[in-house]
Every structure is written in C-alpha cells, then in structure tokens.
Amino acid sequence: MQEFTWRVGGPQGGGIETAATLFARAVGKGGWWVATRREYHSNIMGRHSYLDVRLARKPVQAFRERVDFLVALDGETLARHLGEVREGGVVLYDPRVLELTLHKLPMLDHRAAEDLAKRLGQADPSLKEVLQAYAEAGVQPLPYPFEAVADRIGEALGVPSLKARRTLNTIAVAASLHLLGYPLEPLLQALALQFRGEVLELNRKVAEAVYREEVPRLPFRLEVLGPAPGRVYLTGAQAAALGKLAGGLRFQTYYPISPATDESVFLEAHTHLPGADVAVVQTEDEIAAVNMAVGAALTGAKAATATSGPGFSLMAEGLGFAGMIEAPLVVTLYQRGGPSTGMPTRTEQGDLMFAIRGGHGEYPRLVLASGDLLDTFLDAQKALAWAWRYQTVVVHLLDKFLASTGQVLPKEALRVLPPGEEKRLAPKAGKPTPYARYAPAKDGVSPFAPLGTQGVFYWMTSDEHDFLGHITEDPVLREAQMEKRMQKLQTAREEIPKEDQYTLYRDGEVLVLGFGSVKGTLLEALDHLEGVGYLHLRLLWPFPEIAPLLEGKTLVTVEHNYSGQLADLVQQETLKQVHHRVVKYNGRPITLDEAVAALKAVKEGRAPKRLVLRKGV
C-alpha cells in the first residue's frame, strides 16, 4: 500500500476530531507521513462534520475525492458520503441506524435529501437502501455496533454505560486499525499524547478490549513502516503560533472569530514553553485588538493580532493608523467564506484584494501568503522580522483550510530563523531633545525610538505630519512623507530574497500560478501531468517581478474565490493575459483529482476560460 485515506464522519461535537487526531498520530508513530483535513459546520453541535486522514510513504498535503475507508458514526454520514468511497473500499457503520429514512435524519439538508432520493429513485429511501447502493458500487459494508460495543466493554470494566460511550471515538479508531491489521502499540502511544490520568486509563483499556475481538480480514492491510523519531504533528493554526514564538513575539491580541481563534488559544496554552515570553490578550472587539497591538508595538514589543475577514474589516482604520505612524505590526488573516459572516468554517481565498487595498488612502503594507504548514511556521517569523525592518503593517495571509489542516512534519525543518535587521534609535544621555522620527531616509525607513527611549521625545498623530510628528497639511511636506513611506515597498521588493517572493517549481508551456493553500495540491498534480509547470507566489504585495517568467506561456490561475482575484492581480502588475481561471468557491478545498482533471483539460484545449470546480460535501 502506497497511500490510504481514512474518513470519519458524525455530528459536530461528537468527538470526531479527537478520533482523526488519534488515527493520524497512531499511523504517524508507525512511520507513515500524514495529512488531515477537517470539514465542520459552524454551529456548536449536531450538524454533520467529517475529517480525512491521508497517509502515504512520502510527505503529502493534497486530498483525494474518494476515500478507502469510511467510518460512519451516525446515519447522516452514510447518506452524505455515498459515492465518495472508492470501489473496493470499506464503510464501517452502526447497524442500528438502517431503519431510518432520509426524512428522519433531522440535520440532513433538504437539498441533499432530495438529491439522494432522486438518485435512488425513491421518495424517502431508508439507510438500508442507501447502504445497498454502496454495495452495488463495489464498496464493502461492515456493520459494527459502536454503542453496543461500548456498553459491553464498559460492563466488563465495571464502567457505567454513559461513561463508556464517551470512548466511542477511541472505539472507532481501534476498530478501524484492528480491521486493517495494524498493531495496538502505536495507538496506545497516540492515546498517551491525547489523554491524561483516569481518562487515559479508560481509553487504553477500551482500545485493548477492541483488539481482543475477532474481526474479518480486509483485502488491504496497513503495515508499520518503521520507527519515525524526530517528527511532530501540527495544525496550521499551531504552526502559525509556534512560528510567532520562534520569531520573538511578545504581545498578541485577538477577539474570538473562526477560524483564527485556534491560533491565539494555542498561544495562551503554551506561554510556558522555553523561550516564550508573550502576553496574549482577548479584547472586547477587533477595533480594540488592532489598536492595542499597535500600542504594544510602539513600546518596542514585537506585536501581532489574528483575525478573519469580518474582524479584518473592523481593523481597517487601525491598520491605516499604523501605516501613518509607521508602527511595525503583523496581522494574521485567516480567510474564510464571505461576504459578511458567510461560511465561518469553510475555506476561501476571497480576501486577497482586501488584504492589499483594505482601508482608505495609501500606505505601504506587505502581504505574505503561506502555502503549507512549514511555510506557515517560517513565514510567521518572517512577517515579524519584516514588520520591524520596514516599520509597517505585514498581513500574513492564511485560510481556513490551512488553519485546520494537520500534518506530520520533521522537527528539523521547524528551524528558528536569524533575527532580521531593525533600525532602532539608541538611548541618549542628558536632557531629552526632540527627535525627527519621520525624517527622510533613502530606503524609506527612519530609526525608530520606542516610547520611553531615554533622551528623546517626538510627537505622534494620525494626521499627516512633518519630520517631528507635528500635524501639517503643507503640500511639500505631504509629498515628502508620502514618498518616504511608499519607498518602503520598493526597498522590500529589492531586499526580500526571490525565494521568499516566489518559487518556480517546474516550467512548462502551460504555466499554473497559485498562492496560499493550493500549493500542496498543485505540486502533487504535477506528478500526473506533462508539459505543465507551477509558479507559486508567496509575496503578493509588493508584487514580485515575474513578467519574464510568463512570456510565451499559456497562463492558468487556480484559486479559492469566485472572480479569480490572483488572475486580476497578475494581469494588473505584469500586463500578461491569464488565459484560464480555475476557481472554486463552495467552501471545500480543491482535491488532487479535481486539479489534475482541470489542468489536463487546459493542456488538451478542452477548458473554458473560466472553469468552476464543484466537488465537496
């Protein structure tokens, strides 16, 4: 077996994320490279959610349309994922749900129920008939009474039924791994990472009890590849938080908002890590969050805030304030489905232009988009360093897919980067004197004196100002200050290494351009395509000088938004026409299979100028 995808589905709040984490850690302990994908509803509990765990013998970041093994912890999972298990795959289900009909599944959307009923040719088919459709498609149904098994094990252990049923996620993982012929020990190691104390002991005993039962032999087995020391399992939000700590973050603010909250909550829980010296503050709203972070930066602390689209909208005025007073600030922007509250827990790349242009007036800002979890960790450090080098706002652009994707990474790759250059004014002895904070500078960056620097003082205002910070509307001074500030963009474009601006992974007569989380999918898609290259953009503002690389190519952009914002940006900045826009905006990530099919259509001349990808549950 070269690769394998395991999916678990159930109600939001039903422990399926814990199940997927256990499965991922258990197979990771056995030497497999792992990536996990989480699709969850934005309500608190009840609505359908699912997670994929894809494992392979080499590092993976993309996900497939079809899975090898589906664990259905409720009836709705059976209904929703019909057609998404490959021929020869397995579906593990609780037989107690089979008598339910589609209309008795309270959380199943009417559209989904109607489509499935039409597909099966019945007004209100039962789940038994849905299961029959799986079997007719070549999928092997395996009944497994999860709750009955929990009750039976609980009785043997002397544990009340209600308490025993809290281990259903462990039972689902243990049953799956046992069916696959995978040993128990890696699962026990994963449990020790997940739980503590009495809870760990109960789950350990439950897993051991599941493994003592006889199970049928499947046509495929999951072997242990060998020990895998020096690896770590992280989500994107965790990678961003750890990257900030590695970059010297001292102050983080946030107001809770999906999916950005995970980063700050992780930071709050890990301020005890060696070398961590950070204060994390939950504010009353995003306006307070951005202004408090600006205030911290003015004292000399490396400061950041994390938010999503609606919160970033509220921060626009505060970001303009930071731009005017030249305060170093990082904003980690987790894109999600919009507009308004949109789809809070679904992925999108619809904030690209907003990140570049959001707010009134003009001021220099850098926009850096991470493509995978390792990029996220390293880019969080770079964003902090660049904010201080250029004394301006840096928007670190992520998205929901990256935030909730998990991946096994080699620890050695999570390296601490050297600190960047900073222009700080040294303290002065004697009587304090006025300091020209905004004096002209060839690179646009004047020495910065944190508030309280001994021996100097200056004025600071959100209005236009002279070199000392005094308010002015003088046209000559206005021009001088605008040109000084905007010079930072050209300086950054010249100084930032090309590998931090873009990477040409492979050239081709068809050249695909992408940014952010499409990276992993497109890189793996290249393995299935001839004559197709990929140019991954990392620094999106100031836009890198890539026009020579585009000459004579059939250009294609692949992105998670409706209009093709990257295509617009490329055409604006390079004057090169983008011939095909491959877009997806239903909130689900582009799968490997979709990407390959779309780019083959482009290569063979079968693709329209705008190709919409529509897969996903």
Domain at 514, CATH number:
3.40.50.920
Q: Is 198 exposed, middle or buried (CB count within 10 Å of its CB: 0-12, 13-18, 19+)?
A: exposed
Residue 278 belongs to some domain of the structure: yes
Whole-Å CA distances, 292 to 3, 383, 484, 502, 534: 47, 19, 26, 33, 40
* Whole-number pLDDT of residue 1: 86
Residues 377, 411 contacting (CB under 8 angstroms): no
Q: Is the pLDDT of residue 129 over 90?
A: yes
Domain-terminating residue out of 358, 378, 411: 411
311 and 328 in one domain? yes
pLDDT band for position 378 (50/70/90)? very high
Number of folded domains that form the chain: 4
d(CA 613, CA 617): 13
Helix (H, G, I), strand (E, B) or coil at 218: coil
Contacts of 136 (CB under 8 A, 6+ apart): none
Indicate whether 531 and 465 sit together in one domain. no
Distance (Å, whole) CA 147 – CA 153: 10
544, part of any domain: yes
* 3-state SS assignment for residue 401: helix
Look at the block and give the residue holding tokens 């099919």. 597
Q: What is the pLDDT of the chain when averaged over all its residues?
A: 96
Q: How far is Cα 613 from Cα 131, in angstroms, rounded to an integer?
A: 28
H runs (alpha helix) in 299-347: 309-314, 316-325
35 inside domain: yes
Is the residue at 217 inside a domain?
no
**Integer CA distances (angstroms), 342 to 125, 308, 396, in order:** 32, 11, 21
575 lies in the same domain as 439: no
Q: Find residue 70's DSSP bridge partners.
A: 7, 91
Domain assignment present for residue 165? The answer is yes
Cβ neighbourhood burial of 186 (10 Å; 0-12, 13-18, 19+): buried
Residue 372, both tokens: 């995978």
Least Cα distance to 237 among 336, 321, 102, 318 occurs for 336
Q: Which domain holds residue 315?
A: 235-411
Where does residue 247 rank: exposed (0-12), middle (13-18), buried (19+ CB within 10 A)? buried
Least confident residue range of 12-16, 467-471, 517-521 = 12-16
Q: Are residues 529 and 489 in the same domain?
A: no
pLDDT for the residue numbered 554: 98
Using CA atoms, how far residue 337 sits from 37, 308, 340, 517, in Å, is 17, 10, 9, 14
**pLDDT of res. 46:** 84
| Exposed / middle / buried, residue 454 (Cβ in 10 Å: 0-12, 13-18, 19+) | exposed
Residues 455 and 336 occupy one common structural domain = no
What is the average per-residue pLDDT within 592-601?
A: 98
Confidence (pTM): 0.96
Domain harbouring 88, CATH code: 3.40.920.10
| Claim to verify: residue 394 and residue 444 sit in the same structural domain | no
What pLDDT is stored for residue 341 in this prediction? 95
Same domain, 156 and 275: no
In a domain, 427, yes or no: no
* pLDDT at residue 224 tops 80: yes
Rg for the chain (alpha carbons), in Å? 27
- Tell me, yes or no, whether 241 and 343 share the same domain: yes
Same domain, 445 and 552: no
395 and 367 Cβ atoms separated by less than 8 Å: yes
Question: Given a cut of 90, is residue 347 above it in pLDDT?
Answer: yes
* Helices of type H across 213-276: 236-246, 261-269
Mean of pLDDT values over 154-179: 95
* pLDDT tops 90 at residue 273: no
Query: Are the beta carbons of 51 and 24 closer than 8 angstroms?
Result: no
How many Cα neighbours within 13 Å face the side chain of 184? Answer: 12
Proportion of the chain above pLDDT 70, given as a percent: 100
Residues 70 and 173 in one domain: yes
Mean predicted confidence (pLDDT) in 559-570? 98
∠ CA 501-507-510, rounded to 5°: 110
CB 253 within 8 A of CB 283: yes
| Span 45-103, pLDDT tens digits | 789 999 999 999 999 999 999 999 999 999 999 999 999 999 999 999 999 999 999 99
Does the pLDDT at position 44 exceed 80? no
Q: Are residues 376 and 259 in the same domain?
A: yes
Q: Average pLDDT, stretch 459-476?
A: 96
Judged against a pLDDT cut of 90, whether residue 615 lies above it is answered with yes
Neighbours of 466 (CB within 10 A): 17
Model confidence band, residue 42 (pLDDT cutoffs 50, 70, 90)? confident
Shared-domain flag, residues 369 and 333: yes
In a domain, 8, yes or no: yes
The two structure tokens encoding residue 466: 């002279």
Q: Is 219 inside any structural domain?
A: no
* 185-194 vs 197-212: helix crossing angle, rounded to 10: 160
| DSSP H/E element including 93 | strand 85-93
pLDDT digits over 309-341, tens only?
Answer: 999 999 999 999 999 999 999 999 999 999 999
> Would you say residue 20 has pLDDT above 90?
yes
**Cα 381 off chain centre by:** 17
pLDDT at 433 over 80: yes
10 Å CB burial of residue 115 (0-12, 13-18, 19+) is exposed
Per the structure block, which two tokens stand in for 334?
A: 């987790």
* Average pLDDT of span 173-200: 97
d(CA 498, CA 503): 8
